Chain A
Amino acid sequence: MRLRAPSLQLRLALRLALIYLLATAVAAGILVYRALDTAGSLNDRELAARADDIAASVSMTNASVPRIDLPPSIAKAYEAAGNTDVYAVRRANGPVIAASSAAFGEQVKAWPAPGDDPSYFRLSGIGSTNETYYGLTVALDSAAGPIWVSVAHAGEASALVRSVLWDFENDLAWGLPVFVVLTLAAGVFVIRRGLKPLREVSRQAAAIGPTTTSVRLATGHLPSEITPLVGAVNRAFDRLEDGFALQRHFTANAAHELRTPLAIVTAALDAMDETPELAKLKADVARMNRLVDQLLRVARLDALTPDVSATVDLSAVAVDVVAMLAPWAIARGRSIGCSGCDSPVLIRGNAPAIADAIRNLVENAVTYAPAGDEVSVAVDRKGRLSVADHGPGIPLSDRERAFERFWRGPSPSGQGAGLGLAITREIMRIHGGDVRIDDNVGGGAVLTLDFAGATNVSRLVDKRPSASLL
């Protein structure tokens, strides 16, 4: 199987999707980073506020010894089990005044002076947990003179901040895909709308064939990028149409011009005295005549599609064809009969073209029928016409090829151009009908023209007119 080239629509949609995903990922990344950053600074500010609270609780005793009296609520927080929050207060360049845990106090004693800005630290191994502590040391003024306050908190940020962040990430995880899908859907819709004129043009182009070479693609609502392409295609169609017309005229003229010299040869041979040599020559010329005749029919069929909108009495056409060919068949020792031809069967179509189609079948049948055989033409009320003979028949394997141009069966006389069935099929195609080959009961072939596809057959058949339409 051939892989289909991806459509423009698919390609645009895929690229758009990729861009959406990248852009969304970058945007989400920035948001998360900013959220973490904000959470970090919130944490720092909280720690600084605690340091201020602690500094405000430092006072000087009468004995000039600094002491700390934390408000009960704060003290309770630092004494809570687990020691998730710790503090330590030192006199500037002096001893520790107070510490919530001895271990933290020991650590803080050895630290250098903080600068003007708070200095941040990360510690582990203090308190009863194995958690990392994050904290800051800041130099503050208090009632007991300049002090250094260190506060720290276990973990990176507070539970509150973490839960806010978690919610935010959760929302992103759910919302982003939905957002991406919705925007993509909107994008695809817009692309489809944008490509609609292209599909319209494709539809028009699909209708162009050998019999409809005059159709051109409309440039009316096309995007300006496509217009030059469509214009170029239309100009290519112009050139093709010219070529087609030239070809058709050539075939038609050639066949027509060939007729006059052939007529001369035919008539001249006729005027000569009969000899066996002359009989062969006459047969050759007759075959030539037939070929030219059929070429002319093919050319005419190619050049202009017949109008198939007229009401035609299939029976009457069949009778005309049989009457025309009967003398020829009788001269060859065969006969022709017609069944069901006495009551009208009305179909939509083109009488001369239908006559051509029937004529080709009857000529073939007479050619292949054994001497003394009757070729029987039958018309039924459903708009089917069959031509049956008792000749060799057409093998199953040849039934499709039999309709190709210039295909010839093992003809007993070596006559025929092999165009008859091709012409017949083309005529049936134009009529929306079908031609098929079957075995005749008792040997031979039955060729059936089925006009059931021709519009309104059944309705027309029931509407029997009193006068013949032909």
Chain B
Amino acid sequence: MRLLVIEDEPRIAEILREALEHAEFTVDAVANCGDARAAVDVTAYDAVVLDLGLPDGDGIVLLRELRRAGNQVPILVLTARDAVEDRVGGLDAGADDYLVKPFAMAEVIARVKALLRRPGGALGAQLTVGNLSFDTIGRDVRIANRVVLLPRRETAILEHLMRRVGRVVPKSVLEEKLYGFDDELESNAIPVHVHHLRRKLLDAGASAEIHTVRGVGYLLNEMKA
């Protein structure tokens, strides 16, 4: 899978390239907007890692150009600007995700993989957290390669948690995704489903667990060894 890294700081570009290549991506690195335009014109990248502060222009401008030209490549923005206005500006301009400097390398790789796993993304159908895997097309859940049968709604909850692994998925988002306008929604429906799901993962010996963030939502992550 081929990635484009647009980063003007040579040391960061070098470290990003090494880490992403270590994660078995093919990486092209450019240091300015001009080179980035040229690269995007000739190659269909699977994802782009974009630093906003570039010597010959603002990364936001490049981002808008790409989107206006109809390029839907998933873009992860890296920025030293952490003011909320800047983050929102980046997302509005068409970024798919952002990370504020300084970032952990593992986080960059995880976010890139998450982008590639999105519907239409290059990583396709397979979501994996620890020994837990989910095939988004076949919709079967496996724990340590054994298929586990789950009811429809528990499967849907697990998919959402796995797509945003390590991050909080708000309860309200799960309610929206799982229930139509006409469905009767009991206030404890989601907690009950999550409770069952958690029990089943535990019983099947999954190395991923669901944490409750009381009053906010749920988070799935790999268990610490």
* B-binding residues in A (CB < 8 A): 256, 259-260, 262-268, 270-271, 289, 293, 296, 300, 319, 322-324, 326-327, 330-331, 335-342, 351-352, 355, 374, 376-377
What CA separation (Å) do A267 and B84 show in the bound complex? 23
Contact with A along B179-223 (1 / 0, CB 8 A): 000000000000000000000000000000001111111010100
Contact with A along B67-94 (1 / 0, CB 8 A): 0000000000000101111000000000
What CA separation (Å) do A260 and B212 show in the bound complex? 35
Decide if A264 touches B15 in the complex (CB within 8 Å): yes
Indicate the size class of the contact surface on chain B.
Answer: 20 to 34
Known: A322-B216, A352-B83. A263 touches B168 (CB 8 A): no
Residue of A nearest to B104 (CB): A270
Known: A260-B80, A300-B83. A342 touches B215 (CB 8 A): yes
Decide if A267 touches B16 in the complex (CB within 8 Å): yes
> In the complex, which of the residues B18, B19, B82, B219 contacts A326, with contact meaning CB atoms closer than 8 Å?
B219
Besides A327-B166, A374-B214, 18 more A-B contacts (Cβ < 8 Å) are A260-B9, A267-B12, A267-B103, A270-B19, A270-B105, A319-B215, A323-B167, A323-B168, A323-B170, A323-B217, A326-B168, A335-B213, A336-B213, A337-B213, A338-B216, A339-B215, A351-B84, A352-B85
Decide if A263 touches B101 in the complex (CB within 8 Å): yes
Give B84 Cβ to nearest chain A Cβ, in Å: 4
Decide if B166 touches A264 in the complex (CB within 8 Å): no
> In the complex, which of the residues A319, A330, A376 contacts B170, with contact meaning CB atoms closer than 8 Å?
A319
Most interface-central of B19, B101, B102, B219 (chain A CB within 10 A)? B102
A342 contacts across to B, CB distance below 8 A: 215
Q: Is the interface of A mostly helix, strand, loop or mixed?
A: helix
Decide if B216 touches A341 in the complex (CB within 8 Å): yes
Decide if B217 touches A267 in the complex (CB within 8 Å): no
Residue of A nearest to B209 (CB): A330
Decide if B15 touches A327 in the complex (CB within 8 Å): no
Known: A327-B166, A330-B211, A352-B84. A262 touches B216 (CB 8 A): no
Most interface-central of B16, B85, B104, B215 (chain A CB within 10 A)? B215
Please list 12 pairs of residues, one from A and one from B, whose beta carbons are closer than 8 Å in the complex, sorted by A's number.
Answer: A263-B80, A267-B15, A271-B19, A324-B168, A326-B168, A327-B168, A336-B213, A336-B214, A337-B215, A337-B216, A338-B216, A352-B85
What CA separation (Å) do A263 and B7 show in the bound complex? 12
Decide if B212 touches A335 in the complex (CB within 8 Å): yes
Is B22 on the interface with A (CB-CB < 8 A)?
A: yes
What CA separation (Å) do A352 and B87 show in the bound complex? 11
A326 contacts across to B, CB distance below 8 A: 168, 211, 213, 216, 219
Give A137 Cβ to nearest chain B Cβ, in Å: 113
Decide if A338 touches B215 in the complex (CB within 8 Å): yes
